């Protein structure tokens, strides 16, 4: 079994409203899996089903080769989008309590806590109450609580919201390290740049349906348009433009450069990059030649607005 | 440790370590004593002395009025009535009692006036009427040549003795004592439900507002969390009651020993005998009361108190938990709380008004069966002696309802804790049960 998590035809309805409509997913072991979708798409419903907070109306979820059962609770670490801790409870006590609820013994929990408190340099917080901490500090505690019991699967809902850039980076590094050690991670977020940077698989859910799923590079290949971003210095711009418009579709574009060149997006259609290059080289000096790879953001907006 | 036990432990300590719990536990007995002392002080405070001018043209009645702490009677028979009326307006006197001269009792009966700017108290007027009546009656006896001494002698004063069929002597006022005992237990249950039920509700709302709820229920079942919360909170409550009971008993012990010592040293030899005599007469009465109290079904009362306490508290706090889960803040909870508090208040009223008059009547019996009122009403009935089958039926009904309500409440709870942003209606809450 190479998938840590598989969802097969999961359906969830609240009264007349369908939150998930026959959604199937497979999350490969050891991957960082981006679960994308606009607000209200059904991401949280799916995450809650995986966490056994609610039950699917039909369909099944398979975790690490077994049908979802109460023992799986220990295998999952879940950080909900709406963070929450007991405000008047002391940090250390609270972490111990939540860890024990996840099935750790008191001693184990203490050892793990010591490790994480040292690692994130927050040893001095043990006897502080959550309400004395800033939002970012509380987020750190929340992260520790989520990973404390060494889950095989981490589900992080908007993990970077509320962190300043320094701490966001710190947490990102921790997540990457956990991933390297073998933890699979499901990542639900609206921050496309972090998906771009971290995820190797993505799925897009929109209006209760799964629209896209796959390896990030595969999805991108599927959405590539064979468009190149080109910069060229030419003495005969009119001639060059004439040649190009004969064969390709052009749009004016802009990118940062030190030259005052002609900047174009050129859609090749069925032609090859070399055919384009030939024309460009004949007419001028090529300073910039890059395939326009669709960003996750583009794919997201395109897919969501199409439907 | 099981997860439920962990939750119970946390809830217990969260309540007990709370500053307001500590303050409440140790301050409220002081407050209670303070209020009692204050009320006692107020009642001993003497009212302002009021002067009543009596204009008695007949000259028969003035000597009958005895000055009291509150009222001072002034003979103003010689003063002109209109002058007296003016002085009432000037407020020199509190009031003016004008008794005209007459030979006819009927005239007196209707012509006596009391003039005052303030409305007099009912007891004051009744006292005056009594005095005048008595004097008039005696006057009439004399007028009709009746022997007043013979009449006085022939008056009787009956005191009926109560007895049971077994021949034991029964005591007056025992019903009041019984209802007081049952009422105390019933009232205790009601107070506990209202105070700690609310605490359960607030704790549910707190988890919802702080959003920790989603973290917790990804580790435990909502039902475990709800039950852990209810049990943990009740344990904190029981601890509080135990502390109060302990403080109360200690205080009583200290007080009685302090006063006991004082009594022994200060009372002289002469009064010693008087006290002994008073004690012996009081003792025979007291002993009978104490005997009667021991004859009450004490074991039944205590055992049923515990059972009804558990059943009633769990039943109601499941409601409270469900309501807490359904709303986003305490203000929104009001409309749902009213239907829950109503049966509790109804139970107390039925207890104090119906049970005392007719402990085994239809109304008392029916309400001691209905699960929402039975913990209070049945406890008030038990000191009067209730057939065992009624108690058993009532308890079975209570616990059957309890399981049913917990089941429904946990369904509402499960859905409600993850719902934010809108105030639910009863209709929606019923819909949640089907999810």
pLDDT tens sequence across B381-407: 888 888 889 989 999 999 999 888 888
CB < 8 Å to A63, chain B:
none
The Cα B394–Cα A229 span in angstroms is 83
* Statement to judge: residues B116 and B200 lie in one domain: no
Instruction: Please check whether residue B164 touches A, CB under 8 A.
Output: no
Tell me whether residue B420 is in a domain. yes
A127 DSSP assignment: T
- Mean pLDDT over A134-158 rounds to 89
Q: A101, B216: Cβ pair inside 8 Å?
A: yes
Among the residue ranges A121-135, B199-213, B278-292, the one predicted with the least confidence is B278-292
Domain interval for residue B245: 171-249+282-432
pLDDT at residue number A255: 85
Q: Is the model's pLDDT at A307 over the cut of 80? A: no
Tell me whether residue B260 is in a domain. no
* Statement to judge: residues B327 and B223 lie in one domain: yes
- Mean pLDDT over A155-162 rounds to 86
Kindly report the average pLDDT of chain B as a whole number. Answer: 81
- Mean pLDDT over B16-25 rounds to 85
pLDDT at residue number B266: 46
Mutate to test the interface with B, among A53, A99, A151 (most CBs of B within 10 A): A53
pLDDT at residue number B87: 78
Tell me the pLDDT band of A110, cut-offs 50, 70 and 90: very high
Tell me whether residue B2 is in a domain. no
Tell me whether residue B161 is in a domain. no
Domain ends where: B148, B181, B201?
A: B148
- Mean pLDDT over A245-263 rounds to 85
Domain count of the fold of chain B? 2
The Cα B174–Cα A18 span in angstroms is 66
- Mean pLDDT over B164-182 rounds to 70
Tell me whether residue B163 is in a domain. no
Distances (CA, A) of A214 to A24, A33, A179, A217, B302: 12, 9, 19, 8, 68
Domain ends where: B96, B116, B148?
A: B148
The closest alpha carbon to B232, from B52, B1, B6, B2, belongs to B6
Q: Any idea which fold A3-87+133-217 has?
A: Rossmann fold (3.40.50)
For residue A30, give how far its alpha carbon lies from the nearest alpha carbon of chain B (Å): 22
What's the pLDDT tens digit per position in B318-377? Answer: 999 888 888 888 888 888 888 888 998 898 888 888 877 788 888 888 888 988 888 888
Identify the bridge partners of residue A13 per DSSP, sorted by sequence position: A18
- DSSP letters along B207-239, please? HHHTTTHHHHHTTS-HHHHHHHHHHHHHHHHHH
- Mean pLDDT over B130-144 rounds to 84
Rg of chain A (C-alpha set): 24
Q: Report whether B387 contacts B369 (CB < 8 A).
A: no
pLDDT at residue number B249: 84
What's the pLDDT tens digit per position in A203-219? Answer: 999 888 888 888 988 88
CB < 8 Å to A73, chain B:
218-219
Instruction: Please check whether residue B85 touches A, CB under 8 A.
Output: no
Burial class from Cβ neighbours inside 10 Å (0-12, 13-18, 19+) for residue A1 reads exposed
What's the pLDDT tens digit per position in B259-291? Answer: 665 544 444 455 555 555 555 555 666 666 677
Instruction: Please check whether residue B16 touches A, CB under 8 A.
Output: no
CB < 8 Å to A101, chain B:
3, 6-7, 216, 219-220
pLDDT at residue number A107: 92
Instruction: Please check whether residue B213 touches A, CB under 8 A.
Output: yes
Q: A83, B213: Cβ pair inside 8 Å?
A: no
Q: Report whether A244 contacts A250 (CB < 8 A).
A: yes
pLDDT at residue number B268: 47
Q: Is the model's pLDDT at A137 over the cut of 60? A: yes
pLDDT at residue number B267: 45
The Cα B386–Cα B394 span in angstroms is 11
Where, residue-wise, is CATH 3.40.50.300 in chain A? 3-87+133-217
The Cα A216–Cα A223 span in angstroms is 11
CB < 8 Å to A97, chain B:
6, 10
Tell me whether residue B157 is in a domain. no
- Mean pLDDT over B397-424 rounds to 82
The Cα B362–Cα B65 span in angstroms is 51
Which residues, in sequence order, are CB contacts of B6 under 8 Å at separation 6+?
A: A97, A100, A101, B228
**Which domain CATH number covers B116?**
3.40.190.10
Q: A100, B6: Cβ pair inside 8 Å?
A: yes
A56 DSSP assignment: -
pLDDT at residue number A185: 93
Minimal Cα distance from A74: which residue of B?
Answer: B219
* Statement to judge: residues B105 and B215 lie in one domain: no
pLDDT at residue number B265: 46
Tell me whether residue B210 is in a domain. yes
Q: A84, B18: Cβ pair inside 8 Å?
A: no
Strands A32-36 and A184-188, bridge-based pairing: parallel
Among the residue ranges A195-199, B22-26, B429-433, the one predicted with the least confidence is B429-433
* Statement to judge: residues B286 and B385 lie in one domain: yes
pLDDT at residue number B434: 67
The closest alpha carbon to A103, from A63, A61, A75, A124, belongs to A75
Q: Does domain A226-291 have CATH number 3.30.420?
A: no
- Mean pLDDT over A239-248 rounds to 85
Count of CB contacts below 8 A, A vs B?
59
* Statement to judge: residues B301 and B352 lie in one domain: yes
Kindly state the tokens that stand for B409: 């409440």
Long-range contacts, stretch A276-282, CB < 8 angstroms, 24+ apart: A276/A228, A276/A230, A276/A248, A279/A240, A279/A243, A279/A244, A279/A247, A280/A230, A280/A232, A280/A240, A282/A243
Burial class from Cβ neighbours inside 10 Å (0-12, 13-18, 19+) for residue A257 reads exposed
* Statement to judge: residues B207 and B308 lie in one domain: yes
Q: In what order do the strands lie in the sheet with A32-36?
A: A76-79, A153-157, A184-188, A32-36, A201-206, A209-215
Tell me the pLDDT band of A300, cut-offs 50, 70 and 90: confident
The Cα B52–Cα B118 span in angstroms is 12
Instruction: Please check whether residue B88 touches A, CB under 8 A.
Output: no
pLDDT at residue number B301: 83
What is the number of other CB atoms lying within 10 angstroms of the CB of residue B155? 6
Name every residue in A having a CB less than 8 A away from some CB of B.
Answer: 14-15, 48, 51-54, 73, 76, 78, 80, 82-89, 97-98, 100-102, 142, 145
The Cα B235–Cα B8 span in angstroms is 9
pLDDT at residue number A201: 92
For residue A131, give how far its alpha carbon lies from the nearest alpha carbon of chain B (Å): 11
Where, residue-wise, is CATH 3.30.70 in chain A? 226-291
Domain ends where: B148, B181, B203?
A: B148
């Amino acid at each position: 079994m190479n998938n840590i998590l598989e969802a097969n035809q999961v359906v969830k309805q609240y009264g007349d409203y369908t939150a998930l409509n026959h959604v199937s997913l497979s999350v490969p072991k050891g991957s960082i899996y981006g679960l994308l979708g606009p607000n209200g798409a059904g991401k949280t419903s799916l995450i809650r089903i995986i966490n056994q907070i609610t039950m699917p109306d039909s369909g099944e979820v398979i975790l690490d080769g077994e049908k979802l059962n109460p023992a799986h609770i220990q295998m999952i670490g879940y950080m909900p989008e709406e963070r929450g801790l007991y405000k008047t409870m002391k940090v250390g006590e609270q972490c111990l309590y939540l860890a024990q609820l996840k099935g750790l013994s008191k001693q184990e929990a203490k050892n793990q806590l010591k490790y994480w408190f040292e690692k994130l340099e927050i040893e001095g917080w043990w006897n502080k109450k959550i309400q004395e901490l800033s939002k970012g500090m509380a987020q750190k505690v929340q992260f520790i609580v989520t990973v404390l019991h060494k889950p095989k699967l981490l589900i992080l809902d908007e993990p970077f919201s509320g962190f300043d850039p320094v701490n966001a980076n710190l947490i990102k590094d921790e997540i990457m390290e956990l991933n390297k050690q073998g933890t699979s991670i499901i990542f639900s977020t609206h921050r496309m740049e972090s998906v771009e940077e971290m995820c190797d698989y993505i799925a897009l859910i929109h209006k209760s349906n799964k629209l896209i799923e796959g390896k990030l590079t595969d999805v991108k290949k599927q959405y590539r348009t064979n468009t190149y971003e080109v910069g060229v210095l030419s003495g005969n711009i009119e001639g060059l433009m004439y040649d190009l418009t004969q064969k390709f579709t052009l749009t004016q574009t802009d990118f940062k450069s030190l030259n005052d060149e002609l900047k174009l997006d050129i859609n090749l259609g069925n032609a090859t990059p070399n055919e384009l290059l030939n024309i460009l080289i004949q007419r001028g000096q090529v300073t910039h030649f890059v395939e326009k790879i669709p960003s996750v953001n583009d794919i997201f907006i395109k897919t969501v607005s199409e439907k | 440790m099981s997860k439920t036990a962990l939750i119970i432990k946390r809830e217990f300590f969260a309540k007990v370590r709370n500053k307001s719990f500590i303050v409440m536990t140790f301050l409220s007995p002081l407050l209670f004593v303070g209020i009692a002392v204050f009320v006692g002080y107020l009642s001993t405070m003497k009212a302002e002395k009021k002067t009543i001018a009596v204009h008695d043209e007949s000259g028969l009645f003035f000597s009958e009025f005895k000055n009291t702490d509150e009222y001072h009677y002034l003979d103003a028979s010689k003063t002109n009535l209109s002058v007296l009326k003016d002085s009432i307006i000037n407020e020199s006197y509190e009031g003016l009692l004008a008794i005209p001269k007459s030979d006819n009792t009927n005239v007196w009966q209707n012509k006596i006036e009391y003039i005052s700017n303030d409305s007099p108290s009912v007891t004051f007027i009744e006292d005056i009427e009594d005095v005048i009546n008595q004097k008039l009656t005696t006057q009439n006896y004399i007028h009709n040549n009746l022997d007043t001494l013979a009449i006085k002698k022939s008056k009787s004063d009956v005191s009926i003795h109560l007895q049971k069929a077994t021949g034991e002597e029964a005591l007056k006022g025992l019903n009041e004592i019984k209802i007081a005992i049952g009422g105390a237990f019933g009232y205790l249950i009601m107070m506990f439900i209202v105070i700690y039920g609310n605490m359960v509700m607030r704790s549910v709302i707190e988890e919802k507002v702080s959003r920790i709820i989603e973290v917790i229920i990804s580790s435990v079942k909502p039902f475990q969390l709800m039950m852990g919360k209810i049990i943990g909170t009740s344990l904190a409550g029981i601890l509080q009651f135990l502390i109060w009971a302990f403080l109360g008993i200690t205080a009583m012990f200290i007080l009685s020993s302090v006063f006991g010592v004082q009594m022994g040293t200060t009372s002289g030899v002469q009064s010693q005998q008087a006290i002994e005599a008073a004690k012996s007469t009081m003792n025979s009465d007291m002993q009978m009361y104490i005997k009667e109290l021991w004859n009450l079904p004490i074991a039944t009362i205590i055992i049923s108190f515990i059972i009804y306490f558990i059943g009633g508290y769990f039943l109601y706090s499941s409601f409270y938990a469900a309501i807490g889960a359904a709303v986003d803040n305490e203000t929104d909870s009001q409309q749902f709380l009213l239907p829950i508090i109503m049966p509790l208040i109804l139970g107390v009223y039925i207890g104090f008004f119906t049970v005392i008059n007719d402990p085994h009547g239809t109304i008392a019996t029916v309400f001691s069966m209905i699960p929402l009122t039975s913990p209070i009403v049945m406890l008030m009935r038990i000191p009067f002696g209730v057939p065992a089958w009624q108690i058993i039926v009532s308890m079975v009904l209570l616990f059957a309802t309890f399981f049913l309500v917990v089941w429904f409440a946990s369904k509402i709870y499960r859905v409600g804790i993850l719902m934010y942003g809108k105030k639910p209606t009863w209709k929606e809450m019923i819909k949640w049960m089907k999810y």
